[in-house]
C-alpha cells in the first residue's frame, strides 16, 4: 500500500506522511522578468539562503534565473561579450548568490562566467591551450572548478580553476596512475579549494573517486565491507571534506550511494514507497549531492520505471506523486542545502515542468496553513 503524501505549492505548507514541504519556485507558463517560460531544463541549485538558480527557455532565447528574476538573458552583454546559450550543463550557485556557468556567444566561442563579473574566454592556461569544458563547480569564494581537454605535449585532459591547472593527465596521485579525467565528470569544489572528480585508467580498466592529493575509493577498494568494482561520474565534497559518491559492488551485484563518514547510504534492491530501487542515474551518470552536515540527496531509479528523490535513505518525492492536480513523470537529480531543503526539476503528465524545493520528511505531525495542497494518490493493496 502506498501512503498519501501531502506537499505544498507556492506559499503554503502542509504535513506529509512521506514528503515534507514542497514549494513551486517556477513553472512553464510563468512570466518572469518579461519572459514567458516555455521550457525548464537542467537540475536547479539551492544555496543556504534558500535562493534557487535554474535555466529556462522563452520565446526568442534562454535565460538563467534566480528565484523570480532573470539574471542573464540571451543578448545580454557580459564584460564585452554577448550571452547566447548555456553550454556544458547546469549553472551552479554559491552561498553569496553568485551564479557560475559556461556559455557560448553568437560566434560559438565558449566562456566561463560568473554573475559577480568574472568572465574567462577559453585560451591558454599555465601554457596549455584549452579545447573544451565540462560542468563547472564553484565555492563560496568564487573559485571555479572545471574539466577541459587539451592538445599539448601528450597531455590529454586537465582539471583546473580559473587561475591554474590542478591536475593534468597522465598522472599518479596517492599511488593510483590514471590517464583520463572523465569528460562527464562534474568537478566539485569546497571552500578549502579541494576538488573531487572521477579518474580513469583506461588500460585497466579501473577508475577512482579522487581529490588533487588523495584516492577516496575506486576499483578494488573495500569500503565498509563492500569491495567496489567501479565508481560513478559525479561525486561531491562538502566543506568538512566528506565525499559522497556512487559505486558498483564487485561482480556488479549491486550499486550503492556511499559517503566517507557514514558508509553505505542506500543500495539497489532496497524497497521504498512501494517501489524497488534499481539504480542511480543512467549508466552511472546520476549526481550525488552532500551538504555541510553530511546529509546526502540523490535520484534513484525504480524497477519498472520512474524514480524518486532520496534524502539519505528516506524517499522524499516520487514520480507518480500529484502536484496541483498533475502527475510527476520525471525528476532531475536534486541539490540540498545545509537546512536540508532540496531543489529539483519535475516534469508532469501534460509535459509541463516546474522547479520545486522540498524539505526532509518529519517523523510525524500535520503542518497547516496551506495555500495549495498536493496529495499523492492513495493506492489500495489487493
Instruction: Identify the residue with better confidence: 86 or 4.
Output: 86
> Of the given ranges (50-59, 111-120, 304-313), which has the lowest mean pLDDT?
111-120
Q: What is the DSSP letter of 319?
A: T
Mean pLDDT of the 39-51 span: 95
Whether 166 and 195 have beta carbons less than 8 Å apart is answered as yes
Share of the chain above pLDDT 90, in %: 56
pLDDT value of residue 377: 35
Mean pLDDT of the 86-115 span: 82
pLDDT value of residue 46: 97
Residue 283, SS3? helix
Distance separating alpha carbons of residues 344 and 297, to the nearest angstrom: 10
The predicted-structure confidence for 218-246, as pLDDT tens digits, reads as follows 999 999 888 999 999 899 999 999 999 99
Angle made by CA atoms 58, 115, 92, in degrees to the nearest 5: 75
The predicted-structure confidence for 252-287, as pLDDT tens digits, reads as follows 679 999 999 999 999 999 998 889 999 997 666 778
The predicted-structure confidence for 77-100, as pLDDT tens digits, reads as follows 877 777 777 764 578 999 999 999
Whether 58 and 49 have beta carbons less than 8 Å apart is answered as no
In this predicted structure, the answer to whether residue 380 has a pLDDT above a threshold of 60 is no
pLDDT value of residue 130: 79
> Of the given ranges (9-13, 205-209, 293-297, 350-354), which has the lowest mean pLDDT?
9-13
The predicted-structure confidence for 285-327, as pLDDT tens digits, reads as follows 778 999 999 999 999 999 999 999 999 999 999 999 999 899 9
Residue 252, SS3? helix
Written as one string, the DSSP assignment of 20-52 is: --EEEEEETT-EETTEEEEEEEEEEEE-TT--E
Residue 119, SS3? strand
Residue 186 CA to its chain's centroid (Å): 9
Distant-in-sequence, close-in-space partners of 260: CB < 8 Å, separation ≥ 6:
216, 217, 242, 243, 244
Grid cell 503528465 in the structure block, residue: 349
Distance separating alpha carbons of residues 228 and 240, to the nearest angstrom: 24
Exposure letters 56-95 (e unless 16+ CB within 10 A, then b): bbbeeebbbbbbeebbbbbebebeebebbebbbbbbbbbe
Amino acid at each position: 500500500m502506498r501512503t498519501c503524501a501531502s506537499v505544498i505549492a507556492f506559499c503554503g505548507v502542509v504535513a506529509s506522511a512521506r514528503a515534507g514541504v514542497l514549494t513551486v519556485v517556477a513553472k512553464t507558463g510563468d512570466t518572469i522578468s518579461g519572459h514567458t517560460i516555455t521550457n525548464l531544463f537542467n537540475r536547479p541549485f539551492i544555496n543556504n539562503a534558500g535562493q534557487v538558480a535554474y535555466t529556462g527557455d522563452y520565446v526568442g532565447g534562454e535565460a538563467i534565473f534566480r528565484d523570480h528574476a532573470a539574471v542573464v538573458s540571451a543578448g545580454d552583454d557580459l564584460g564585452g561579450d554577448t550571452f547566447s546559450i548555456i553550454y556544458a550543463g547546469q549553472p551552479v550557485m554559491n552561498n553569496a548568490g553568485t551564479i557560475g556557468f559556461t556559455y557560448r556567444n553568437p560566434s560559438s566561442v565558449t566562456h566561463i562566467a560568473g554573475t559577480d563579473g568574472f568572465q574567462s574566454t577559453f585560451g591558454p592556461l599555465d601554457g596549455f591551450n584549452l579545447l573544451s569544458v565540462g560542468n563547472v563547480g564553484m565555492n563560496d569564494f568564487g573559485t571555479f572548478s572545471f574539466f577541459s581537454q587539451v592538445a599539448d605535449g601528450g597531455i590529454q585532459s586537465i582539471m583546473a580553476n580559473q587561475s591554474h591547472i590542478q591536475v593534468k593527465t597522465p598522472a599518479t596521485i596517492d599511488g593510483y596512475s590514471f590517464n583520463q579525467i572523465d569528460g562527464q565528470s562534474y568537478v566539485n569544489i569546497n571552500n578549502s579549494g579541494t576538488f573531487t572528480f572521477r579518474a580513469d585508467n583506461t588500460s585497466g580498466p579501473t577508475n577512482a573517486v579522487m581529490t588533487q592529493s588523495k584516492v577516496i575509493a575506486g576499483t578494488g577498494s573495500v569500503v565498509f565491507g563492500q569491495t567496489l568494482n567501479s565508481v560513478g561520474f559525479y561525486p561531491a565534497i562538502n566543506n568538512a571534506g566528506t565525499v559522497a559518491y556512487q559505486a558498483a559492488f564487485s561482480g556488479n551485484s549491486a550499486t550503492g550511494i556511499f559517503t566517507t563518514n557514514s558508509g553505505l547510504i542506500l543500495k539497489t534492491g532496497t524497497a521504498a514507497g512501494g517501489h524497488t530501487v534499481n539504480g542511480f542515474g543512467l549508466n552511472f551518470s546520476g549526481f550525488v549531492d552532500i551538504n555541510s552536515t553530511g546529509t546526502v540527496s540523490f535520484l534513484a531509479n525504480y524497477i519498472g520505471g520512474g524514480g524518486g528523490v532520496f534524502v539519505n535513505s528516506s524517499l522524499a518525492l516520487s514520480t507518480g506523486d500529484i502536484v496541483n492536480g498533475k502527475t510527476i513523470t520525471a525528476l532531475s537529480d536534486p541539490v540540498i542545502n545545509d537546512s536540508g531543503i532540496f531543489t529539483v526539476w519535475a516534469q508532469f503528465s501534460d509535459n509541463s515542468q516546474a522547479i520545486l524545493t522540498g524539505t526532509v520528511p518529519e517523523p510525524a505531525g500535520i503542518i497547516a496553513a496551506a495555500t495549495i495542497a498536493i496529495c499523492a494518490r492513495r493506492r489500495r493493496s489487493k
